[in-house]
Amino acid sequence: MADVTFTLDGSTVTGRRGQTILQVMQAHQRNVPNLCNDPRLDPYGGCRTCVVEVEGSPRPVPACATPIAEGMVVRSESGPVEDYRKTLVELLMMEHLGGEGDGVGHDDLALLARDYDVEPLFELPSHRRPYKDRNEFIGLDADNCILCNRCVRYCEEVMLCSALTLTGKGPGGHIQPTRGESFLDTDCELCGGCVSTCPTGALYDKRALGTQDTQVAKTTTTCTYCGVGCQLDLHVEDNKIVKVGTRIGAPVSEGNLCVKGRFAFDFVDHPDRLKMPLVRNDAGELVEASWDDALDRVAEGLNGVRERHGSQKLAFLTSSRCTNEENYLLQKLARGVMGTNSVHSCAAT
């Protein structure tokens, strides 16, 4: 794509045709607030916190929804746009009343209010709605919602679901699971992406209530459930996983997860989890064994079949939880050592 050259805060910068001003700014480590923006979603231009001045334009424009143009002159740090943003943050803070999910998610609005040193001019009355949801994972507290619509757009654009709706008008406008009171009554896949995109903690992970995102230890790792290998941030408190987060733009998954990666981490501490290999004793009971003993038993069994019936009676099946490298090694064992081409991965769906 052709390059576009323009002026940003007095410097000459270059972007690709079709990029927005915000995308080029971020590529040059020049940031502005961008509350309703999520790089996983189409430009929206709803909150106006990202406004910049463009020479020749009669009013500030949203950087997240304005494409760059050759020769344009952009100012992102002028007094008027900073004042404009500060006022917007003050207004948004009036709707941000604090609620159940405080601290559980990332609260970009609260951070902005701290950076701009603003308090809400006054607080609007609570718009919390009676909300009883039998789902175990996702909480929604309208008192923290600023109606940025990121959750609804995520659900539609990334998940191709219509499980969330922005409904009502004016002060009655609110987010709700479509048609009913529970996410479980919609086509929600419980991917948790709406929680991950919410910039205020209005949507939050129910099981992480009582923990603070900013205070837990975080370990970046790879989901073990399937071969896609999405990247996860495990939030750990007192040596227990309390929540799975992820970073927008993370390798492979770009910050998106499915329900298993997002919410199915109970197995880690489950008392039934196998932590040692089990082999059958002479009475046919499963008993714990060392890895060396268990692998010896496997080798003995495989060699026994090959000797009695030939290599073509052997087949190897790998788990969808195996990595590419593990799959490679297993097919090497099957073909190179055991002499059979009957090897398959159950991830080949």
In the stretch 228-267, what mask flags binding to ligand SF4 with x, by CB under 6 A? xxx----------------------x---xx-xx------
Q: Are 74 and 52 in contact (CB under 8 A)?
A: yes
- Residues 326, 337: Cα–Cα separation, whole Å: 15
257 binds, among ligand FES, ligand SF4, none (CB under 5 to 8 A by kind): ligand SF4
Q: Which residues contact 1 (CB under 8 A, 6 or more apart)?
A: 16, 17, 18
Instruction: List helix spans (H) across the chain.
Output: 21-27, 79-95, 108-116, 150-157, 193-197, 259-263, 291-309, 324-332
Q: Which amino acid is at 44?
A: Y
- Using CB under 6 A, which of 24, 112, 194, 322 touches ligand SF4? 194
Rounded to whole angstroms, the Cα distance separating 87 from 85 reads: 5
Secondary structure class of 87 (helix, strand, coil): helix
| Between 165 and 311, CB nearer to ligand SF4 | 165
In angstroms, what CA-CA distances link 58 with 52, 53, 110?
A: 12, 9, 30
User: Which of 132, 308 has the CB closer to ligand SF4?
Assistant: 132
Q: Which does 161 bind (CB under 5 to 8 A by kind): ligand SF4, ligand FES, none?
A: ligand SF4
Task: Decide if residue 30 touches ligand FES (CB under 6 A).
Answer: no
* Cβ atoms of residues 144 and 248 within 8 Å: no
Question: Which of 15, 101, 139, 192 touches ligand SF4 (CB under 6 A)?
Answer: 192
Q: Which stretch binds ligand SF4 (CB under 6 A): 53-61, 205-213, 220-228, 333-341?
A: 220-228
- Cβ closest to ligand FES, residue 113 vs residue 138: 113
| By CB under 6 A, residue 146 contacts ligand FES | no
The residue type at 22: L
Q: How far is CA 225 from CA 83, 136, 180, 230, 320, in A?
A: 48, 20, 31, 9, 7
150 binds ligand SF4 (CB under 6 A): yes
Would you say 76 or 144 has its CB closer to ligand FES?
Answer: 76
* Nearest CB to ligand SF4, comparing residues 226 and 234: 226
Tell me the C-alpha to C-alpha distance, in Å, between residue 280 and each of 118, 261, 272, 294, 303.
67, 32, 18, 10, 18
Q: Which amino acid is at 169?
A: K
Task: Report the nearest approach of ligand FES to the CB of residue 33 (Å).
Answer: 7
* Contacts with ligand FES, 59-78, as mask; x by CB under 6 A: ---x-x--------------
List residues near ligand FES by CB under 6 A.
Answer: 34-37, 45-50, 62, 64
Q: Which residues bind ligand SF4 (CB under 6 A)?
A: 138, 145-151, 154-155, 159, 161, 163-164, 175, 183, 188-194, 197-198, 200, 202-203, 223, 225-226, 228-230, 253, 257-258, 260-261
